[in-house]
Amino acid sequence: MTCNILVAFYSRSGSVESLAQAIGEGAESAGAKVRLRRARELVGEDVMALAPGWSEAAARMNAAYEAPTATDAEWADGILVGSPTRFGGASSELRAWLEGLGAVWFQNKLVDKAGGAFTSTSTTHGGAETTVLSLYPTLAHLGLVIVPNGYGAPLSRVAGTPYGSSSVSAGPERRAPTEQDLEIARAQGRRLAEVAGALRALREARS
């Protein structure tokens, strides 16, 4: 069954954005309609000026993507949330959007939709799993059926995590997600869309 997929992410320098795009491609390959949305900055210009390129990347992405809204979440049959790892957890920018979903949570509007998460770290053991897992409780509170990546995709033993897609960006210059990282992300998008479509059929059969 066709379904709607929301990919809501925060990205400061583009790694999570690349994963979000690949997830969107994967969901579209399963027949889904996709909305890519970028959460907005919560820090001031002083912080954005700390690293070369942050302000420019934010301006570029803000021109390319609308900010996520609660209406996007209601529209979606499946929601994927992505964030750079921040001290082992998710960014406050993504979390601020999630915390704005109180009204839809209160009305049970997201119950029995599909949910998943993804991240990018700078170092291999910098907290990809903890970040994705830190988002799981919020997805559960919202009533989403959490869809992990598992090890079903062909490249799942060489990239990503069993919980959600990931990439590692540290290097002499920022390292973009590899083709293997992106393939895992596409697989996550496809899987999430397939499950979201099945859950939509279930919800419609009940009503």
Ligand X SMILES: Cc1cc2nc3c(=O)[nH]c(=O)nc-3n(C[C@H](O)[C@H](O)[C@H](O)COP(=O)(O)O)c2cc1C
**x/- binding map, residues 131-170, to ligand X, per CB under 6 A?**
--------------------------------------x-
Q: How far is CA 137 from CA 32, 43, 155, in A?
A: 25, 25, 27
In the complex, minimum distance from the CB of residue 51 to ligand X, in angstroms, rounded to a whole number: 7
The reply to whether 24 sits near ligand X by the rule CB under 6 A is: no
Q: How many residues does the chain have?
A: 207
CA distances from 19 to 7, 40, 69, 92, 187 (A): 10, 18, 20, 19, 11
Number of residues near ligand X (by CB under 6 A): 19
CB under 8 Å to 44, separation ≥6 — which residues? Answer: none
Both tokens of 33, joined, read 């309609």
Q: CB of 114 within 8 A of CB of 196?
A: yes
Query: Does the protein bind ligand X through residue 122 (CB under 6 A)?
Result: yes
Q: Indicate the residue among 58 and 195 with the shorter CB distance to ligand X.
A: 58
Residues 144, 169: Cα–Cα separation, whole Å: 29
Residue from the set 120, 134, 138, 156 that interacts with ligand X by CB under 6 A: 120
Verify binding: residue 123, ligand X, rule CB under 6 A: yes
Which CB sits closer to ligand X, 105 or 118?
118
Q: What is the DSSP string of 119-179?
A: EEBSSTTSSHHHHHHHHHHHHHHHT-EE---TT-STTTTTSS-SSS---B--SSSPPPPPH
Select from 7, 8, 16, 76 the one that contacts ligand X (CB under 6 A). 16
Give the separation between CA 110 and CA 135, rounded to whole angstroms.
15
To ligand X, the closest distance from the beta carbon of 1 in angstroms equals 32
In 3D space, the residue among 4, 39, 10, 40 whose CA is nearest the CA of residue 24 turns out to be 4
Among 26, 127, 164, 189, binds ligand X (CB under 6 A): 127
- Choose between 11 and 138: whose C-beta lies nearer to ligand X: 11
Report the nearest approach of ligand X to the CB of residue 113 (Å). 25
Tell me if 53 contacts ligand X by CB under 6 A: no
Q: Does 61 bind ligand X (CB under 6 A)?
A: no
Site string for ligand X, 80-109 (x = CB under 6 A): ----xxxxx---------------------
> Which residues contact ligand X by CB under 6 A?
11-17, 84-88, 120-123, 126-127, 169
